[in-house]
Structure 1
């Protein structure tokens, strides 16, 4: 008897492997990146929008790289690293302080991207306990979270939004 695919939302949904959680969370990360795009309408934001669209594609490549063939390359990491350096240069000292996630809608969604990338990284950690995961995927996910944080700062700056510093009472920071 042929399965009726309308009732199957994801082929591996009932699998016990942590790969399923990683794949679902990385799909969520791709959606989160897409949710930023409609808010980047200014001419000055178009390079950010183009970079995010490329990042979406890379996240989907990373999604399949744990179960399937590795589709993230050193060149992809170098590109992300270059974009990270570029945006850090634009926001300067702001990258040295922890801030409250707030601001314009584009920045708020970028903070969500930052957090979703951390969740993906954590899911990768659990996958790696079951079966080795290429370290390139960890590097990719880590820098993706960090670039999202810097992009949030940059988009807020482009929109004239002041950051609200967060000063922890829990840790002694150097």
Structure 2
């Protein structure tokens, strides 16, 4: 049974909060990611003006990603191209710093960016579930979300390089 809209709007945090479909969960995850980026922006060290500009642009793109399942598509090829370009920019700056798995640690905002990365993966998984549920959306959404998760990782490496913080390798006993 779907809950009715409350008479007192202070008791209603989001118009779709009582939906049983996964669309609302997806929207909450993308909103969470945008909030995580706000935390990262507040903790960015000096000398990261390029990262700040990229994250500020990403917040709007993530809200475009948010509305692209329920509404019109807001993620386009040029957005993916831009994000891949920014990924390559930071990857080139940090070439050779990471050669395997590393532990997700370091000074702020590195841990917060790792949370962004994990939330990005959750968004990809939610898109898989939405598709499984029968929801149709543009192919640009999962492509953008995958690049997004990878982008957050390369930002952690770039920030640690700028702060002269070493990566801590993780050696798996499983693989």
Same fold, TM exceeding 0.5?
yes
> Which of 49, 52, 55 does residue 52 from structure 1 map onto?
55
Q: Deviations over 1:82-129 (max 9, x none)?
A: 000110001102343211000111111111110110111111111111
Q: Deviations over 1:113-149 (max 9, x none)?
A: 1011011111111111121232100011100000000
Q: Give the unaligned 5+ runs of structure 2.
A: none
Q: Does 1:124 align with 2:127?
A: yes
More helix by share: 1
> Which stretches of structure 1, 4 residues or more, deviate above 6 A after TM superposition?
none
Find the residue that maps to 2:97 and give its secondary structure: helix
Find the residue that maps to 1:96 and give its secondary structure: coil
Find the residue that maps to 2:156 and give its secondary structure: helix
Residue in structure 2 matched with residue 109 of structure 1 by the alignment: 112
Contact 1:84–1:147 under 8 Å retained in 2: yes
The separation in 2 between residues aligned to 1:69 and 1:162, in whole angstroms, is 43
The separation in 1 between residues aligned to 2:45 and 2:106, in whole angstroms, is 16
> Which of 33, 37, 42 does residue 33 from structure 1 map onto?
37
User: What is the TM-score of this pair, normalised by structure 2?
Assistant: 0.93
The separation in 1 between residues aligned to 2:25 and 2:92, in whole angstroms, is 35
> Which of 99, 122, 140 does residue 96 from structure 1 map onto?
99
The separation in 1 between residues aligned to 2:169 and 2:115, in whole angstroms, is 18
CA offset at residue 2 of structure 1?
8.4
Residue in structure 1 matched with residue 172 of structure 2 by the alignment: 168
Q: Does 1:3 align with 2:7?
A: yes
Residue in structure 1 matched with residue 72 of structure 2 by the alignment: 69
User: What is the TM-score of this pair, normalised by structure 1?
Assistant: 0.93
Find the residue that maps to 1:141 and give its secondary structure: helix
Q: Deviations over 1:46-87 (max 9, x none)?
A: 110110111111000000000000011100000000000110
Residue in structure 2 matched with residue 150 of structure 1 by the alignment: 154
Q: Give the unaligned 5+ runs of structure 1.
A: none
| Matched pairs, number | 170
Contact 1:95–1:150 under 8 Å retained in 2: no
